[in-house]
Amino acid sequence: MTALPFPVAEEPDAFATETGRKLFAGPSEFVKGVVAMSGLPPADRVEVCFAGRSNVGKSSLINALTGTKGLARASNTPGRTQEINFFTQGPELYLVDLPGYGYANAPLKVVEKWQKLLKQYLSGRQTLRRAFVLIDARHGVKAVDDEIMKLLDTSAVTFQCVLTKADKVKAAERDKVLAQVRAALAKHPAAYPEIVLTSSEKGDGIATLRSIIAHLE
């Protein structure tokens, strides 16, 4: 029996879980929102970024990872936040919240400006170790997700797919979505060959994701 491409990440062992817990036990603080490359904080630590469609549950996931309610704020208006938001996680890590994409209401000039900044950030940030592309487990990969994945390919940034809201989908439906996601990821050379299933509400997959981040070098 051949192994599935892009398997679901297994739960970490006790040691890896503890390493992840320790990293995220430290204080989490908002540093700044960046609207231009000149505003980026010093590249003096490991950095991971989170990308996803508006309403994918990005803020909830960052809050669940850090155990800090309200650290990343979800906007009531999708696409309102046009900044790259930096958070410190202890002294060793930046968590970077990229603006939600796939919204229809933003003016074209705003979208173009954001896309330019995003391209510059992704291709020019030496300390960026991995991008996590969040996909809603109820919907799978959409065309706008594919666009961001292409951008990560061309920027040579390794990205890992994180399925959010996995608790909202029955097992049979989830298998269909996973098959669709695997087929989409297979087209992207920068895709890391493992998928993480999460639920911010139930806490599923949070220890796994913490452990993955803690073991990036």
Tallying the residues shown for the chain, one arrives at: 217
Query: Tens digit of pLDDT for each residue in 76-96?
Result: 555 456 789 999 999 999 999
Specify the pLDDT at position 72.
86
Report the share of the chain in percent with pLDDT over 90. Answer: 76
pLDDT confidence band for 2 (50 / 70 / 90): very low
Report the alpha-carbon distance of residue 129 to residue 104 in Å, rounded. Answer: 30
Query: Tens digit of pLDDT for each residue in 151-177?
Result: 999 999 999 999 999 999 999 999 999
Report the alpha-carbon distance of residue 183 to residue 80 in Å, rounded. Answer: 31
Mean pLDDT, residues 57-82 taken together: 80
Average model confidence (pLDDT) across the chain? 91
The gap between the terminal CA atoms of the chain, to the nearest Å, is 33
Specify the pLDDT at position 74.
66
Residue 103 predicted with pLDDT over 70: no
Query: Tens digit of pLDDT for each residue in 181-194?
Result: 999 999 999 999 99
Cβ neighbours of residue 163 closer than 8 Å, sequence gap 6 or more: 134, 135, 136, 137, 177, 178, 181, 195, 196, 197, 198
